[in-house]
Chain A
Amino acid sequence: MQERLEEILKTYQEDEGNIISILQDIEESFGYLPEDAIEWFSERLDVPPAKFFGIATFYAQFHLKPRGENIITTCCGTACHVKGSERLISSLMRELQIPTGEDTTEDRKFTVERVNCVGACSIAPVVIINKEVYGKMTADRLMKEIRRLK
């Protein structure tokens, strides 16, 4: 971890002191923002951790908790909404037994995240499974994909 953080620090110094870029690099490297990493940067840069957390919680891209091995991104854009994305999400949550208010299964195998719009509205509803885009999704097809990953 230490080594990777040093690398991130180097690019940061070239990048106009941008905390968002640091957080993006941490998220990219570890899949979330480990508290240790933020504290490490806080000390090295003499910037209070609150500033990091303030930014991290402002933007949807950052996660403070580790996420699942498989990331299922459901699009909640308007076109997907009118084409039934809510139903897809509720069937996902049921199938994966994710309790309300949570987004990751207990065994950390799956994370279900909602995003505002992935901009693929003409093939709505859209679900992205591990970065692969699936258009015109149905509950049936989605369950098949999920069971395959299980």
Chain B
Amino acid sequence: MENSTILIKVCMGTGGIAAGGTEVISAFEKELQAEGISAAVEKHCSVHKVGCRGFCARDVLVDVLIDGEKTTYEYIKPDMVSRIVKEHILQGEAVQEWVVKDDYRTFHEKQRKVVLSDCGEVDPEDIGSYMERGGYDALRKVLTSMTPEETIEVIKSSGLRGRGGAGFPTGLKWEFARRAPGDTKYLICNADEGDPGAFMDRSIIEGNPHSVIEGMVIGAFSMGAHRGYVYIRAEYPLAVERLRLALEQARKKGLLGEHIAGTEFSFDIKIKLGAGAFVCGEETALIASIEGKRGMPRAKPPFPAQKGLWGKPTVINNVETLANIPYIVRNGAGWFAQFGTERSKGTKVFALTGKIKNSGLIEVPLGIRLHEIVHDIGGGIEGDRKLKAVQTGGPSGGCIPAEMIEIPVDYESLAEAGSIVGSGGMVVMDETDCMVNIAKYFLEFTQAESCGKCVPCRIGTKRLLEILTRITDGRGRPGDIELLESLSNDVRAASLCGLGQTAPNPVLSTLRYFKAEYEAHVHEKRCPAGVCKNLLTYTILEEFCTGCTMCARVCPANAIVGERKTPHRIIQDICIKCGACFETCKFKAIKKG
């Protein structure tokens, strides 16, 4: 392999690092320095860190490219590195047993990558690696050969809609701000990804921060802003660090700051760390937070495009929206609009998680069937259990039941089904998940995150949570289901901002599709999925119990008694229903129900 160019790319997103990516990189560096090896590969072999390519469940993922030919390895540990170096890099023989299998290919086959096309390919800590792949070409094109109006027109005709949740047309938003009077305008990138179960914004910033910066500069030029902010969660330390580095590199290259790319246009970006409040995903609350206040929303109009940050016209775009911009400008509006449906153009990134075999970050054309996502890309349900529902849109969304698996995934269809695309969280649930418990889970979340400004949201979500808690505790009363429904409608109708208006969605959508499950909890005091603790009892089936004592050993409450090699017994009064015995038993001798 003496004259070949060898590139080694190691996945170093949060998932990759958690799986040991840092150790794998240093193992490669060490192996390649070793005597005898360094001479053979010196100069034309390099190790790079890349961001998330989506399949975090298989981390650490490593690409070895020899003269452009790519081999991908999965589940790589540091002690596997020396064999890869010896056999593959020195002798050109891939270590077949560690190479990704067919399912890695099927995971990617139905995807269409726009925003994520460079994630997993470029080194997020090196601006040069983005520029080699055409990065910042779009910005140069816009600054040197287009007017702001022309740029807005391109985005408008691409049909791009906001990827943060509401789906408002991006070009139109820019146009409103462009037309708003005044010289001082702001562009804010909303990276306060608060939806539990969504991590596309984090992955984009960790994997390709420059695409977001480039999108921001183009947006700022179009609307006429000279100051920008990225409002990012403090819970994403790696994303913050990479973004900071990327901003510095862009400034050094003259692509940010005064006279960008030698033109008259100036724009700079500052990072603002969010302090942890879900409601700050709401535009007006986010603005209040940047101003250093409690992040409470206010009534609209005036819309931020007229009166936003410090009273000036402001546009707030989500990370994924902005990361789409360079690719749209580079390839044309028509190219982008070929993906998707009539009203939902382009691709969308989803975080496919939960009880799914291939869990990860995926990018698909809007309008794809849910079935294709779950079964083809996702590879089906974990443990080959039965699909029950797919939760989309996080706490503002709803559950799509298994019967509706053929639904096209786009803004309109999901809304009709009582859910939303939202920021793109997609949590797959199987028959062992209780829908009442899920509704309660989301209400716990929204109740805690309600800013407290409007009574219907502040008190309404609390009452909803109380009713749901009572139902899951086995204290449900007749009439509770009807009360949930009517109260949900009130909270939805009477709250000021998106948080309150959508908070009852998880309740309403589970009531719509899984009413029988609510009824079983309320009337029969039974949790069909076997989740709600108070409605459960664990018992040992004597005929299967071998008396191995494993359950007694893991029981934290010492509630299991019995002699060795004779059937054991659970003392119900002491049992805390933690389920530890159920999970430990190798003989399926513990019954839950």
CB of A64 closer than 8 Å to a CB of B: no
A55-B293, A82-B354, A90-B578 known; A121 vs B275 contact (CB < 8 Å): no
Q: For the complex formed, measure the closest distance between the CB of A50 and the CB atoms of chain B, giving whole angstroms.
A: 12
Q: Does A146 contact B (CB under 8 A)?
A: no
A83 to B292, CA, bound (A): 37
Whether A55 pairs with B294 at a CB distance below 8 angstroms is: yes
Q: Which residues of A contact B59 (CB under 8 A)?
A: 123
* CA gap between A58 and B580 in the complex, in Å: 37
Contact indicator A78/B391 (Cβ below 8 Å): yes
B199 adjacent to chain A (CB < 8 Å): yes
Residues of B contacting A24 with CB < 8 Å? 234, 273, 275
From B196, B429, B580, contact of A116 by CB (8 A) = B196
- Given the known A-B contacts A78-B427, A78-B441, are A117 and B294 also in contact in the complex, defined by CB atoms under 8 Å? no
A residues within 8 A CB of B295?
A: 58-59
| C-alpha gap A77/B273 in the complex (Å) | 20
CA distance A24 to B580 in the complex (A): 39
Give the nearest-CB partner of A121 in chain B.
Answer: B353
Question: Distance (Å) between the CB of A51 and the closest chain B CB?
Answer: 9
Pairwise interchain contact A19-B14, C-beta atoms closer than 8 A? no
Binary B-proximity of A124-150 (CB < 8 A = 1, otherwise 0): 101000010111000100000000000
A49 contacts the other chain (CB 8 A):
no
A54: which B residues are within 8 A, CB to CB?
Answer: 294
A120 at the interface (CB under 8 A from B): yes
A119 at the B interface (CB under 8 A) = yes
In whole Å, how far is B290's beta carbon from the nearest beta carbon of chain A?
8
- Asked if A3 is at the interface (CB within 8 A of a chain B CB), the reply is no
Of the candidates B15, B276, B291, which one forms a contact with A61 in the assembled complex, judged by CB atoms under 8 Å apart?
Answer: B276
Which residues of the other chain, B, contact A83 by a CB distance below 8 angstroms?
Answer: 354-355
Which of chain A's residues has its CB closest to B428's CB? A82
- Given contacts A24-B275, A82-B433, A90-B578, whether A123 and B196 have CB atoms under 8 Å apart is no
* A140 → B minimal CB distance (Å): 8
Within 8 A of B (CB), among A77-106: 77-79, 81-83, 87, 90-91, 94
Chain B residue, CB-CB nearest to A18? B292
Which residues of A have CB within 8 Å of B449?
Answer: 116
Given contacts A54-B294, A58-B451, A91-B578, contact A120 B275 (CB under 8 A): no
Please report which residues of chain B, range 236-259, place their CB below 8 angstroms from some CB of chain A when the two chains form the complex. 236-237
B289 contacts partner chain A, Cβ-Cβ < 8 Å: yes
Q: A77-B197, A121-B199 are in contact. Are A135 and B556 (CB under 8 A)?
A: no
Q: Which residues of B336-379 are within 8 A (CB) of A?
A: 351-355, 359-361
Q: At the interface, yes or no: A112 with Cβ under 8 Å from chain B?
A: no
Given A23-B275, A59-B276, A60-B275: A121 and B359 within 8 A (CB)?
Answer: yes
- Distance in Å: Cβ of A42 to nearest Cβ of chain B: 15
**Chain A nearest Cβ from B415, distance in angstroms:** 20
Q: Please indicate which of the listed interface residues A19, A117, A122, A139 has the most CB atoms of chain B within 10 Å of its own CB.
A: A122
B393-449 interface (Cβ within 8 A of A): 394, 425, 427, 429, 433, 438, 441-442, 445, 449
Residues of A within 8 A of B273 (CB): 24
Chain B residues with Cβ below 8 Å from A116 are: 194, 196, 276, 278, 445, 449
Write out the residue numbers on chain A whose beta carbons fall within 8 Å of the beta carbon of B578.
87, 90-91
A117 near B293 (CB under 8 angstroms)? no
Residue B492 interfacial (CB < 8 Å)? no
**With a CB–CB cut-off of 8 A, which chain A residues contact B360?**
122
Q: Cβ of B202 < 8 Å from any Cβ of A?
A: yes
How many Å from the CB of A112 to the closest CB on chain B?
16
Task: Identify the closest chain A residue to B199 (Cβ).
Answer: A119
Contact between A120 and B199 (Cβ–Cβ < 8 Å)? yes
* B235 interface hit (Cβ, 8 Å): yes
Which single member of B202, B278, B292, B293 contacts A21 (CB below 8 Å)? B292
B146 at the interface (CB under 8 A from A): no
Do residues A122 and B359 form an inter-chain contact, with CB atoms below 8 A? Answer: yes
Please, what's the 1-or-0 string for B18-51, where 1 marks a CB less than 8 Å from any CB in chain A? 1100000000000000000000000000000000
Which residues in window 1-59 of A have CB below 8 A to B? Answer: 16-21, 23-24, 54-55, 58-59
Q: A24-B273, A78-B197 are in contact. List 17 more A-B contacts (CB 8 A).
A: A21-B292, A23-B275, A59-B277, A60-B275, A62-B275, A77-B197, A78-B353, A78-B425, A79-B359, A90-B578, A91-B578, A116-B449, A117-B195, A117-B199, A118-B14, A121-B425, A124-B354
23 A-B contacts, Cβ less than 8 Å apart?
Answer: A16-B292, A24-B275, A55-B292, A59-B275, A61-B275, A76-B196, A77-B197, A78-B425, A79-B196, A91-B556, A91-B578, A94-B556, A115-B235, A116-B445, A117-B194, A117-B235, A121-B425, A121-B427, A122-B57, A122-B351, A123-B19, A123-B57, A124-B354
